[in-house]
Amino acid sequence: MHFPQGDDDCKTPRPTPLYAAAASQSTSNSWTAINGWAAARVYAKVEEEYRAASEDAALVDLGPLCRYTVRGFDAAKVLARLTTTPVNELSVAESARGLILDAAGAVVDFADLTRLSGDLYLLTTATPADRRLDLAARGFEASVSNVGAEVAALGIVGPGARDAAAAAGIDVLSADASAQGRVRGVELAIRPINFGAAPGVEIIYPAEDALVIWERLKRKRQLPVAGIDALDILRIEGGAPRPGVDFVSADRAAAGAARMPDEIGLPHLAPPNRAWFNGRRAMKNAADPRRYLVVLTVDTDLAPVGATIHARAEIVGRVTSAAFSPRLRRALCFADIDAAALDRPLEAALPEAPGMRLPARLHDTAESRLAAAFRETTRAATESRR
Amino acid sequence: MTELRRKTGPKIEGGVDAVIIGASVDALAAAAILARGGLHVVLIETGAGRFRERAEFAPHYYAADGDPIATALDQQTIDQLDLYRHGLAFARRRLETFVRFSDGAALVLPGDPAFAHEAIAAMSEADADRFADYAEAERKTARQFAAWFSGGAEPAIAPDLRTEKAAASIEEAVTGRFLDARIADYLRAEAALGAASRPSEPFTYLALLRRMAGDAAGLQGAVAAIEGGGRGLVQALRRAGQAAGVGIRQTDRVKSVIVEFDRVAGVEFDDGGQIRAPIIISALPARETFFDLVGRARLDIEFARVVETPSPAIASVRVNLAISGPLVDPHAAAALDRRFLYAPAPIELDRAFRLAGEGVCGAPLIAELIFPSALEAGLAPEGCATASLLLHPVALRPPGDERWRESVDAASRVAFGRIAPGSASLIEAIDIGEPEAAAPPTLAAIERREILTGASGLEGYYFCGPEALIGGPLSLAAGRRAGERALAFFKQGGFD
């Protein structure tokens, strides 16, 4: 799950339950608003935050994401209809990620789902989905609650996230199961997450106890805090597109701007042979993708923000988000390019250096490897049917 | 001991190409079209829409179900199914329209709208040419829209004209156009009859164009009376269907439509019996078609939202009147085989819509009156008459609401008295029907129809229920469109 596009012009962002703790760590005072909540872009230095999150562990305030509980006899039916997650295959404590599609099969949002108990699910989305959830639940025996303001969501991102949680007495049962526990009298739900290339855990607990757990984690391991800019580098390294930045939600997209799961490089999150979900039929019958969202490496130490992508003399795409990757020691960017140009040599033209073009190469990410494997499986299945 | 195999059980019937669910004229039309296309068709008559034999609503006074007249009857379906050969006939092909205004004046428009010049001149000479020019121009525009109204593609006309006509309100289109304001009152009443929106609201004018586009008995904009009313049309369609080999079954309820993967595969009944078929056409209302038979869980969320669009709170109500003697007013009594219309003044109409919106039935209302006894023998005793009165707008209330019934009773007497002054005392009995939800603005109704008939995403499932109709319930166009789409699907081998 990734933060959607921030709104730097928001005049009155609401404080998340962890805001007081997060603000006390901020020396740069660089904030933005995400879904109306205050979110720190940078606490102190992006490089240090990135290093902590990629090499050890860092705390992240995940409060700006949207959270809903769906409860009731038909909860699974509602969520199976709304999201592409394999709801019916989830055992209690398991989590799955997927997408929310519109009726035309275009991507509206991401959806992370955790089955908390028999008929209680926790749904996390990048952008508000209240109306869509209400529509999906109509006529079903299921109640939907927006619990975003009632819970604190604290992320620990990085390879050392589990150790950090364990040091604070928060057990994480296994790599893919969530857990529920009690620390210092506070009821917690803990679930594994991935933030781009970095693994992590998310701890969800009542908002009124927000600072208790934060303080405990800080005290046990002196964990640093990571802001959105550092996480954005991890996100691009992991090949995870950001809603509102790398693609426009189908709910807000102008004509022709909506993107299918395959076009944003996430076909594996919406397999058409999974049980029925909203938009599946349209997606299955859609024409071949015209454009693809891919991750490119560019040999420069500047983030090629706003660059155009060329295949010889022709402009075939544009960069949607970019960052300098300290791990790869070159720039990484998401680019929206013509499907026909994928096999051709690509170059990036940076706005800062008019007339100069730098080689841009397709970069394998965790997501792109999953997508390639999925496409290969689908192709093989189609051929065997023939 | 566990019974491993039942000796007798629900029957599963195969070898059927298409199952049609419903009892409306559209269901019959779709069934006949598919059967004539060479498919093995089974029609399951269930749900509303069945025309009953005429019922005695007061001693010796009889009424038939439904609308006694037609303003749009799909000529293509008539030709395709050869309905004239199968018994379709008209009691009157061109009904005159007798319009009464709030000031008591009367206007008699001829059966062929193209000859209205003289009638208008008799009321307002200065407006005769204006009206003729206006009506001719609008009939021409309406002709361009006709296929769109009946379920075809949007007309390829200038975008400006399309927007102008689609977005206009009745008020802005007709007010001030004629010197005699009563002509505007007449057009306003024609357009607002059966509509959910006030004439001053945008997107309402298209209803008048739809009325002008309708083709009844081969003449655009005319009003025709089918012999036997809706029952006469049903009988002709049944004969056409049976001649083509449609198997007709009658049942109270279809339990569900069987969906396998993304395709329909047949229907299931309460006893577990099934008819397997790759094509299903439903003429039931959209909620029954999609929610009850298929289930929300298999429908796209956006599609389900369209299905459950609530009905407007405004309705029309049909009232049967037993008239115990000849009408007093000589103008109205001159001929009863006409369509009578009461066109309220703008202030009356505005008040009627306001009261209907508040849940009250006011008076006077727009009233369309037909004397079925003048078109069909045996409906009333000698020297008496039955009248079928359509009142609009009234509040959409549950049938058992006694206050509502009392107010409709009063409104019926007022309307009859306005159309035939001095004759209200001749009303011997009043039989109030169920309120029927008013039609949403035509553009919205077309958009909804397009989604319902084309976007369920279930292969082989077609819809021609009431929400697929734009305009009169006897038009047959929705059934033909559904039948043609299903036939094309069958021919393409889409179900293989």
Fold exhibited by the domain A69-146: Alpha-Beta Plaits (3.30.70)
Number of cross-chain residue pairs from A and B with Cβ atoms under 8 Å apart: 43
Which of B291, B305, B458 has the CB atom closest to A135's CB atom? Answer: B305
Q: Which residues of A touch B291 (CB under 8 A)?
A: 139
Min distance A77 CA to chain B CA atoms (Å): 7
Choose, out of B300, B303, B458, the residue to mutate when testing the contact with A (most A CBs < 10 Å): B300
pLDDT in tens, B251-296: 888 999 999 888 999 999 998 899 999 999 999 999 999 999 999 8
Taking only the tens place, the pLDDT of each residue in A257-287 is 889 999 999 999 999 887 789 998 888 888 8
Contact: A139, B302; criterion CB under 8 Å: no
CB contact under 8 A, A139 and B262: no
Partner B contacted by A77 (CB < 8 A) = yes
- Spatial contact of B316 and B391, defined as CB atoms under 8 Å apart: yes
- Residues whose CB is less than 8 angstroms from the CB of residue A297 and which lie 6 or more positions away in sequence, other chains included: A328, A330, A331, A332, A360, A361, A363
Judge contact between B470 and B449, C-beta under 8 A.
yes
- For residues A334 and A264, the answer to whether their CB atoms sit within 8 Å is no
CB proximity list for B391: less than 8 A, separation 6 or greater: B316, B317, B318, B319, B365, B366, B367, B408, B411, B412, B415
Respond yes or no on whether ipTM tops 0.95: no
Domains of chain B: 13-54+72-81+227-309+442-491 (3.50.50.60)
The span from the CA of B351 to the CA of B345, in Å, is 10
What is the 3 state secondary structure string of B65-98?
A: CCCCCECCCCHHHHHHHCCCCCCCCEEECCCCEE
Q: Which two tokens stand for residue B112?
A: 């062929």
Mapping DSSP onto H, E and C, the string for A65-130 reads: CEEEEEECCCHHHHHHHHECCCHHHCCCCEEEEEEEECCCCCEEEEEEEEEEECCEEEEEECCCCH
Residue B362 CA, distance from chain mean position: 24
Q: Tokens representing A376?
A: 């290969």
Give strand ranges (E) for B303-447. Answer: 314-323, 339-343, 366-370, 385-395, 427-437
DSSP conformational letter for A254: P
Q: What is the pLDDT of residue B311?
A: 81
Given a cut of 50, whether residue B2 has pLDDT beyond it is: no
Looking at residue B113, its amino acid is P
Q: Where are the domains of chain A?
A: 19-63+148-238, 69-146, 290-385
* CB hemisphere CA count around A23 (13 angstroms): 10
Instruction: Give one DSSP letter per residue of B260-314, joined into a string.
Output: ETTEEEEEE-TTS-EEE-SEEEE-S-HIIIIIITT-GGGS-HHHHHHHTPPPPSE
Which residues in chain A touch residue B307, judged by CB atoms under 8 angstroms apart? none
Q: Which band of pLDDT confidence, cut at 50, 70 and 90, is reported for residue A219?
A: confident
Residue B1 has pLDDT above 50, yes or no: no
Mean pLDDT over each residue of chain B, to the nearest integer:
90
From residue A116, alpha-carbon distances to A35, A86, A98, A125 in Å are 25, 15, 17, 16
Q: Does A140 touch chain B (CB under 8 A)?
A: yes
pLDDT attached to residue B494: 58
Q: Measured at the alpha carbon of residue A131, what is the angle toward residues A129 and A134, in degrees to the nearest 5?
A: 105
Q: So what's the pLDDT on residue B231?
A: 86
Report the candidate in A76, A30, A50 with the shortest Cα–Cα distance to residue A275. Answer: A76
Facing B457 at nearest CB: one of A77, A138, A281: A281
Give residue A173's pLDDT band: very low, low, confident or very high (50, 70, 90): low
CB atoms within 10 A of CB B172: 15
SS3 of residue A306 by DSSP = coil
Q: Among A81, A279, A284, whose Cβ lies nearest the Cβ of B297?
A: A81
Cβ of A282 under 8 Å from any chain B Cβ? yes
- The answer to whether A282 contacts B304, with C-beta atoms less than 8 Å apart, is no
Tell me the chain B residues in contact with residue A140 when contact means C-beta distances shorter than 8 Å. Answer: 296-297
Strand partners, A348: A309, A358
Q: Which residue of B has its CA nearest to A139?
A: B296
For residue A343, the 8-state DSSP code is T
What is the C-alpha R_g of chain B?
A: 23
Res. B221: pLDDT tops 80: yes
Contacts of A320 (CB under 8 A, 6+ apart): A241, A245, A246, A247, A293, A333, A334, A335, A336
**A345-371 pLDDT tens trace:** 998 988 877 778 888 999 999 899 999
What's the pLDDT score for residue B20? 96
Which of B102, B125, B168, B145 is CA-nearest to residue B367? B102
Q: B120 pLDDT band (50/70/90 cuts)?
A: very high
Superfamily holding A19-63+148-238: Probable tRNA modification gtpase trme; domain 1 (3.30.1360.120)
Mode of pairing for the β-strands spanning A58-61 and A198-206: unpaired
Sort out which chain B residues have CB atoms less than 8 A from A103's CB and list them. Answer: 300-303, 455, 457
Nearest-CB residue to A103 (from B297, B298, B302): B302
Minimum mean pLDDT range among A191-195, B181-185, B201-205: A191-195
User: What burial class does residue A357 get, using C-beta atoms within 10 Å of its C-beta: 0-12 exposed, 13-18 middle, 19+ buried?
Assistant: middle
Q: Do B262 and A284 touch (CB under 8 A)?
A: yes
Numbered residues of chain B with Cβ closer than 8 Å to any chain A Cβ: 262, 291, 296-298, 300-305, 308, 455, 457-458
Whether A354 has its CB under 8 Å from any CB of chain B: the answer is: no
Write down the architecture of domain A290-385 according to CATH: Beta Barrel (2.40)
Beta strands, E only, B119-246: 215-216, 219-220, 225-226
Which residues face B56 on adjacent strands?
A: B62
Per-residue pLDDT reduced to its tens digit, B229-240: 888 899 999 999
pLDDT tens-digit map of B357-398: 888 888 899 999 999 999 888 899 999 999 999 999 999 887
State the smallest CA–CA distance between residue B300 and chain A in angstroms.
Answer: 5
DSSP for B435-471 reads: EEEPBPPHHHHHHHHHHHHH-S--BTEEE-SGGG--S
How much is the pTM?
0.84
